[in-house]
Amino acid sequence: MTVLGCIADDFTGATDLAGLLARSGVRVSLRIGVPTQPPSETSPFEVIALKSRTSQVSQAVAESRSALDWLQRAGAQRFFWKYCSTFDSTMEGNIGPVAEALMKDLCTEQTIYCPAFPENGRFIFMGNLFVGQQPLAESPMQDHPLTPMGDSNLMRLLRPQVTKPVGLADRLTVAKGATELRAKLRTLNTEGVAHVIVDAVANEDLFVIAEACRHMPLMTGGSAVAMPLPALYLADGMLSADASKTPYPKVGRGTVILSGSCSEMTQKQVANYVTKGAPAYRLDPMDIAKSGTNALLEWLKSQDLSKAPLVYATSDPISVKAAQQALGTLLVGEMIEKALALCAVTARDSGARRIIVAGGETSGAITKSLGVTQLDIGVEIAPGVPWTFCQSDGNQMALTLKSGNFGAETFFTDAQDKLDLL
- Give the residue-averaged pLDDT of 389-417: 95
Beta bridge partners of 123: 130
Percent of the chain with pLDDT over 70: 98
Q: Helices in 11-108 by DSSP H: which ranges? A: 11-22, 57-73, 95-106
Q: Are strands 28-32 and 374-382 parallel, antiparallel or unpaired?
A: antiparallel
> What is the maximal distance between C-alpha atoms in the chain?
65
* Average pLDDT along the chain: 93
The one-letter amino acid at 161: Q
- Give the residue-averaged pLDDT of 172-177: 98
Domain with CATH 3.40.980.20 in the chain: 255-420
- DSSP label at residue 48: E
- Give the residue-averaged pLDDT of 157-184: 97
Report the alpha-carbon angle 256-259-264, nearest 5. Answer: 140
Mean pLDDT is lowest, of 96-100, 228-232, 402-406, 414-418, for: 402-406
Cα–Cα distance, 399 to 376 (Å, whole number): 10
Contact predicate 53/94, CB 8 Å: yes
Predicted local confidence at residue 317, as pLDDT? 86
- Give the residue-averaged pLDDT of 179-184: 98
- Give the residue-averaged pLDDT of 96-107: 98
Place 86 in a pLDDT band, splitting at 50, 70 and 90.
confident
Cα–Cα distance, 421 to 66 (Å, whole number): 39
Cα–Cα distance, 224 to 116 (Å, whole number): 7
Predicted local confidence at residue 330, as pLDDT? 86
Superfamily of domain 4-236: Putative sugar-binding, N-terminal domain (3.40.50.10840)
Beta bridge partners of 169: 198
Q: How many CB atoms lie within 10 A of CB 126?
A: 13
Q: Could you tell me which of 167, 174, 238 has the C-alpha nearest to residue 212?
A: 174
Cα–Cα distance, 277 to 360 (Å, whole number): 26
Predicted local confidence at residue 244, as pLDDT? 54
Q: Say if residue 243's pLDDT is above 80.
A: no
Task: Classify domain 255-420 by CATH number.
Answer: 3.40.980.20
Output the CA–CA distances (angstroms, integers) from residue 384 to 79, 227, 240, 381, 401, in the order listed. Answer: 19, 10, 23, 8, 10
Cα–Cα distance, 374 to 2 (Å, whole number): 16
pLDDT digits (tens, 9 = 90+) for 193-222: 999 999 999 999 999 999 999 999 999 999
Place 241 in a pLDDT band, splitting at 50, 70 and 90.
low
Q: Say if residue 374's pLDDT is above 80.
A: yes
Place 245 in a pLDDT band, splitting at 50, 70 and 90.
low
- Between 29 and 88, the higher pLDDT residue: 29
Cβ contacts of 186 within 8 Å, gap of 6 or more = none
Cβ contacts of 69 within 8 Å, gap of 6 or more = 105
Place 144 in a pLDDT band, splitting at 50, 70 and 90.
confident
Q: Look up the pTM and report it.
A: 0.86
- Give the residue-averaged pLDDT of 137-162: 86
Percent of the chain with pLDDT over 90: 79
Cα–Cα distance, 92 to 344 (Å, whole number): 33
Mean pLDDT is lowest, of 200-214, 269-283, 309-323, 345-359, for: 309-323
Q: Say if residue 303's pLDDT is above 70.
A: yes
Mean pLDDT is lowest, of 173-177, 242-246, 302-306, 391-395, for: 242-246
Place 338 in a pLDDT band, splitting at 50, 70 and 90.
very high
Give the distance from CA 233 to its chain's centroid.
Answer: 23
Q: Say if residue 403's pLDDT is above 80.
A: yes
Place 242 in a pLDDT band, splitting at 50, 70 and 90.
low
- Give the residue-averaged pLDDT of 330-338: 93
Predicted local confidence at residue 149, as pLDDT? 81
Q: Helices in 311-392 by DSSP H: which ranges? A: 317-327, 329-349, 360-369
Q: Say if residue 313's pLDDT is above 60.
A: yes
Q: Say if residue 49's pLDDT is above 90.
A: yes
Place 248 in a pLDDT band, splitting at 50, 70 and 90.
confident
- Give the residue-averaged pLDDT of 134-145: 83
- Give the residue-averaged pLDDT of 329-341: 94
Domain with CATH 3.40.50.10840 in the chain: 4-236
Contact predicate 324/145, CB 8 Å: yes
- Give the residue-averaged pLDDT of 185-198: 98
- Give the residue-averaged pLDDT of 247-264: 93
